[in-house]
Amino acid sequence: MRILVTGGAGFIASHIVDAYIKDGHEVIIIDNLSTGKKDFINKKARFYKIDIRNRRELELVLKKEKPSVINHHAAQISVRHSVENPFFDLEINLIGLLNLIQLGKKAGLKKMIFASSGGVVYGEADTIPTPENYVPLKPQSPYGITKLSSEYYLDYFFQNYRIPYIALRYSNVYGPRQNPHGEAGVIAIFTSKLLRGETSIINGDGLQTRDYVYVKDVVEANRKALISDKVGAFNIGTSRETNVLEIFNRLRKLIGKNTTVSHGSAKKGEQKRSCLNCNLALKVLGWKAESTLNQGLKKTVEYFQQNEKV
Torsion angle, CA of 65/220/193/6, rounded to 10 degrees?
Answer: 20
Percent of the chain with pLDDT over 70: 98
pLDDT score recorded for residue 183: 61
175-211+241-277+291-307 CATH: 3.90.25.10
Q: 81 near 88, Cβ under 8 Å? A: yes
Weakest-pLDDT range from 139-148, 164-173, 215-224, 260-269: 260-269
Q: Is 283 exposed, middle or buried (0-12, 13-18, 19+ CB in 10 A)?
A: exposed
Residue scoring higher pLDDT (17 or 83) = 17
Over residues 92-136, the pLDDT tens digits come to 999 999 999 999 999 999 999 999 999 899 999 999 999 999 999
pLDDT for the residue numbered 167: 98
Give which of 104, 71, 100 is closest to 1, Cα–Cα.
71
Stated as kind and residue range, the H or E segment containing 226 is helix 215-227
Higher pLDDT, 101 or 185: 101
| CA 122 to each of CA 81, 133, 148, 267, 279: distance values in angstroms, whole numbers, following the listed order | 19, 10, 9, 18, 16
Can you point out the beta strands (E) in 7-122? 26-31, 46-49, 69-72, 111-117
Euclidean distance between CA atoms 291 and 216, whole angstroms: 8
Non-local (6+) Cβ contacts of 305 within 8 A are 195
Among 21-25, 115-119, 274-278, where is mean pLDDT lowest? 115-119
Per-residue model confidence (pLDDT) at position 257: 82
What gap in Å lies between CA 59 and CA 257, rounded to an integer? 51
CA dihedral 120→122→123→124, nearest 10 degrees, is -140
**For the residues 250-255, what does the mean pLDDT come to?**
95
For the stretch 40-86, pLDDT in tens is 999 999 999 999 999 999 999 999 999 999 999 999 988 888 999 99
Q: Using pLDDT thresholds of 50, 70 and 90, give the confidence band for residue 242.
A: very high
- Does 168 have pLDDT greater than 60? yes
HSE-up of residue 24 (Cα within 13 Å, Cβ side): 0
220 or 81: which leads in pLDDT: 220
**What residues does 111 pair with on adjacent strands?**
69
More confident residue, 103 or 258: 103
DSSP letter string, 133-182: T-S-----SHHHHHHHHHHHHHHHHHHHH---EEEEEE-EEE-TT--SSS
CATH superfamily of 2-172+212-236: NAD(P)-binding Rossmann-like Domain (3.40.50.720)
d(CA 65, CA 54): 17
User: What pLDDT does residue 264 have?
Assistant: 83
Residues 6+ apart with CB under 8 A from 38: 9
Those residues whose C-beta lies under 8 Å from the C-beta of residue 280, and which sit 6 or more positions away, are: 131, 132, 234, 235
The residue among 183 and 230 whose pLDDT is bigger is 230
Q: How confident is the model at residue 204, as a pLDDT?
A: 86
Q: How confident is the prediction for the chain on average, in pLDDT?
A: 95
Res. 215 pLDDT band, cuts 50 70 90: very high
Confidence of residue 266 (pLDDT cuts 50, 70, 90): confident
Q: Where exactly are the structural domains of the chain?
A: 2-172+212-236, 175-211+241-277+291-307
> Which positions are catalytic?
143
Helices 186-196 and 244-255, packing angle to 10 deg: 40
Say what percent of the chain tops pLDDT 90.
Answer: 87
Give the pLDDT confidence score for residue 48 in this predicted structure: 98
Residue 269, by phi and psi: left (phi above 0), alpha (psi -120 to 50) or beta? left
